[in-house]
Structure 1
């Protein structure tokens, strides 16, 4: 699905949305919001931010508890959720780009199907890459002075959301050696803090929650964001981090890096799939329409709180939140890439990391 098609789908979905409130009661119940990552990453911070707000808006004000099921870069949890069916409306599952990418790349470990799930909220995010202080001194807005440095990066896996930074760094001509196997991006940050990694990236919520403090303490130097999309689908500065250049800007300033051609088109396609619609809340297969509507209405009430823009900007960033039919359209956009982009990335994974997904 292209950006223009996505925008049209959202507009159409808005016209179809019904204002009627569903009448179900969750009084005295506990809603479990399962996150397939560790408790230290951006998805954890995203769910922990929304959970108490959702509790306030759901009928009966149930307790919303965030639980974690890390493993296999989120594939373990997603495969588990695929086997769940509706039961009382007390189970939510949260995915990230690291769940979407294995699905997009036909990873044989994937046994889940997004079309079986019921999306009730989707939100975008951004990401910030940063350097250790020593190498950060060499950064001048380009990667020209970083090409002779051997970096270490804690990674969930090249087929996860980490493919966006890994491909970006390779396009910049940087030597970044990933250490695969961490259970969440928060674990990558901890590696960076301990000096076991020398370069890192975090999604916006995790960066705001912890990495920004490293920068304030002089223990990290921001390098670039992945950017955001304007209405025409162009990459512009991330509204949450307007003072940090985008990868596009750094690429344009770096010798040998091109913002056109196969590599750029593939990078942008997976950036679009992984960030503007990065985190999605689902109800399980078989959820009745009235229950799905109840959750969509609750998330809609959350995003329309007068204080939401202020509190969201500090915890998860300044990004669009989609609900109901719009969340479904957003999910379709986030789980679709062109055959050309998929083929390029599969070949790149094989050539760079020996990962075969053919």
Structure 2
């Protein structure tokens, strides 16, 4: 091939690439939701934390969508978020007019293979992912000053925690207690507000909360000496590295806490199960999804809107109050954290099912 031929070939390829990029850019620029109504499915009852998040994030995202569409939030509760999510999977058209809001329980239902689940979260595209951390604290009656004190607790130490059910989001902390070698008796049937009240009365001795609840309800107990902060679950930064929770930089992450208590870094199927649960509990705590099969140009338009929203000073100020100032994840980072929350190693899954059955009588 001559130099002239090579040059012509390169120019032709460059021109073709330019035309392709131009066409793609035009397609993205042409996509608009002007005059349209975007329905946001919230598979939870009105008034709860997931509903509040869904309404907030829908309004904020809507400000940046092309064409300024009307945003309608529709609650479709039932079966612990399964009913609404199933409905979304089966009926949402991939035309950019329907979104789904998820919370940790949406992921947990799928990870634990609830037979009622008919949805596949791995086929959906995350537009926005909002992390929310979790920290653990102990009652003064245990007589410890920090997480290292857990290693010195005798076998007779009465450890009780409050939990909703064995397969709710509380499962993550129950796994942590198991890995730490703690003999904790969970008192089921308690929501987090109930658990805080029971903790304050001394009826449970180890508890956990997100930073918003912690700052509002637990900090006064820390200041009065009733509660002792132990550790936070941790965080994964933009580089994919595991770091301390930005809301609790002075507290060790759970892997650090486990190494302190056990004398060695945690490993094995129980810890592998915890790692998947960590992503569903913290890194993908809340999310907004597009349905399976959504065209690239629509996904690109939503991702651009999400990025603009995440950089909006008004939004940033509002999230300080709603989520504690955790970064809003968009684009590739959102997708990476979302997919990590769905990866469940077979050995870890088998361990979890066996442990749930042995400890709490939960049948697979």
User: TM-score, length-normalised on structure 2?
Assistant: 0.75
Whether the 8 Å contact between 2:94 and 2:290 is mirrored in structure 1 is: no
What are the Cα deviations for residues 287-337 of structure 1, in whole angstroms up to 9, with x where unaligned?
455444332222121012245555434432454534356544443322112
- Residue from 162, 166, 170 that aligns with 1:162: 170
1:217 counterpart = 2:225: no
1:280 counterpart = 2:279: no
Task: Kindly state the Cα deviation for residue 24 of structure 1 after the two structures are TM-superposed.
Answer: 1.8
In structure 2, C-alpha distance between the alignment counterparts of 1:119 and 1:338, rounded to whole Å: 22
Gaps of 5+ in 1: 1-15
In structure 2, C-alpha distance between the alignment counterparts of 1:263 and 1:271, rounded to whole Å: 12
Alignment of 1:314-329 (within 5 A): 314-324=321-331, 327-329=334-336
**What is the aligned residue count?**
330
Partner of 1:248: 255
- Residue from 190, 193, 199 that aligns with 2:197: 193
Residues 191/261 of structure 1: CA separation in 2 closer, same or farther (3 Å cut): closer
Residues 54/135 of structure 1: CA separation in 2 closer, same or farther (3 Å cut): farther
Residues 283/233 of structure 1: CA separation in 2 closer, same or farther (3 Å cut): closer
1:138 counterpart = 2:144: yes
Task: Kindly state the Cα deviation for residue 108 of structure 1 after the two structures are TM-superposed.
Answer: 1.9
- Larger fraction in helix: 2
Whether the 8 Å contact between 1:172 and 1:257 is mirrored in structure 2 is: no
SS, match of residue 80 in structure 2: helix
In structure 2, C-alpha distance between the alignment counterparts of 1:55 and 1:113, rounded to whole Å: 26
In structure 2, C-alpha distance between the alignment counterparts of 1:76 and 1:178, rounded to whole Å: 28
SS, match of residue 270 in structure 2: helix
Task: Kindly state the Cα deviation for residue 226 of structure 1 after the two structures are TM-superposed.
Answer: 0.4
Gaps of 5+ in 2: 1-20
Whether the 8 Å contact between 1:131 and 1:221 is mirrored in structure 2 is: yes
Partner of 1:61: 68
Residues 254/115 of structure 1: CA separation in 2 closer, same or farther (3 Å cut): closer
1:150 counterpart = 2:153: no
In structure 2, C-alpha distance between the alignment counterparts of 1:253 and 1:100, rounded to whole Å: 30
In structure 2, C-alpha distance between the alignment counterparts of 1:311 and 1:64, rounded to whole Å: 19
Partner of 2:358: 351
Whether the 8 Å contact between 2:38 and 2:96 is mirrored in structure 1 is: no
Whether the 8 Å contact between 1:95 and 1:279 is mirrored in structure 2 is: yes
In structure 2, C-alpha distance between the alignment counterparts of 1:231 and 1:286, rounded to whole Å: 27
Higher relative contact order (CA 8 A, sep 6+): 1
Task: Kindly state the Cα deviation for residue 344 of structure 1 after the two structures are TM-superposed.
Answer: 1.8
In structure 2, C-alpha distance between the alignment counterparts of 1:318 and 1:231, rounded to whole Å: 15
Alignment of 1:232-243 (within 5 A): 235-243=242-250
SS, match of residue 224 in structure 1: strand
Partner of 2:305: 298
Partner of 2:127: 120
Task: Kindly state the Cα deviation for residue 350 of structure 1 after the two structures are TM-superposed.
Answer: 1.6
Relative to structure 2, which stretch is displaced further, 48-57 or 64-73? Answer: 64-73
Partner of 1:5: none
- Residue from 20, 24, 34 that aligns with 2:32: 24
In structure 2, C-alpha distance between the alignment counterparts of 1:145 and 1:52, rounded to whole Å: 50
Whether the 8 Å contact between 2:130 and 2:329 is mirrored in structure 1 is: yes
Task: Kindly state the Cα deviation for residue 136 of structure 1 after the two structures are TM-superposed.
Answer: 7.0
When the two chains are superposed, the root-mean-square deviation of aligned CA atoms in Å is: 3.5
In structure 2, C-alpha distance between the alignment counterparts of 1:67 and 1:135, rounded to whole Å: 46
Relative to structure 2, which stretch is displaced further, 335-344 or 323-332? Answer: 323-332
Residues 292/261 of structure 1: CA separation in 2 closer, same or farther (3 Å cut): closer
Task: Kindly state the Cα deviation for residue 22 of structure 1 after the two structures are TM-superposed.
Answer: 4.5
Residues 306/112 of structure 1: CA separation in 2 closer, same or farther (3 Å cut): same
Task: Kindly state the Cα deviation for residue 39 of structure 1 after the two structures are TM-superposed.
Answer: 3.4
SS, match of residue 321 in structure 1: coil
SS, match of residue 57 in structure 1: coil
